[in-house]
Amino acid sequence: MAEPMIACCGLDCATCGAYIATQADDREAQERVLAKWRVEYNHPDMTLEWVICDGCIAVGGRLSTHCGECAIRACAMEKGVDTCGHCVDYACDKVSGLLNAVPAARATLDAIRRDIGATS
């Protein structure tokens, strides 16, 4: 099992199909992720570039189209924080929708806040 690679939003890039397929340089796996995402995100015109990713926190790495356009990632980078859990504005409107949809991401960011001694 790969080491966790916690994205700004609390998701673990190391468990993402796009990340795993990219790191393995596995074109068939990328195609499977692409087919799944086309249905999951109701985006039939999605191309392979959408699923080529080195993880959203990889500086200078390849980013999936979603990660490259992610407002949460852009905000964290602009504020100079590793994750939303490190931000004084946690859990703002930018990330709250994702946290409501993905409880594991909220749990990860809450744990980060506890670890750094953040309040509220």
pLDDT in tens, 11-52: 999 999 999 999 999 999 999 999 999 999 899 999 999 999
84 vs 1, which has greater pLDDT?
Answer: 84
Q: What does the alpha-carbon distance between residue 90 and residue 119 come to, in Å, rounded to a whole number? A: 10
CA 89, distance to chain mean position in Å, is 19
Structural domain contains residue 7: no
5 domain residue, yes or no: no
More confident residue, 66 or 82: 82
The answer to whether residue 8 sits within a structural domain is no
Containing structural domain, residue 111: 13-116
- For residue 87 the two structure tokens come to 């931000």
* Any domain includes 3: no
Residue 112 has pLDDT above 90, yes or no: yes
Residue 55 token pair: 């993880």
The reply to whether 83 falls in a domain is yes
What would the pLDDT profile of 70-102 be if each residue is shown by its tens digit? 999 999 999 999 999 999 999 899 999 999 999
Residue 65 domain flag:
yes
- pLDDT reported for residue 76: 95
Q: Is residue 18 part of a domain?
A: yes
User: Rounded CA gap, 101 and 93, in Å?
Assistant: 13
- Convert 28-71 into a string of H (helix), E (strand) and C (coil): HHHHHHHHHHHHHCCCCCCCHHHHCCCCCCCCCCCCCHHHHHCH
pLDDT at 30: 96
Residue 91: DSSP 8-state:
S
Q: Is residue 56 domain-resident?
A: yes
Biggest CA-to-CA distance, the chain: 45
pLDDT of residue 36: 95
pLDDT at residue 65 tops 90:
no
**SS3 at position 6:** strand
Cα–Cα distance measured from residue 110 to residue 90, given in angstroms and rounded to the nearest whole number: 9
| pLDDT over threshold 80, residue 1 | no
Predicted local confidence at residue 118, as pLDDT: 79
Domain total of the chain: 1
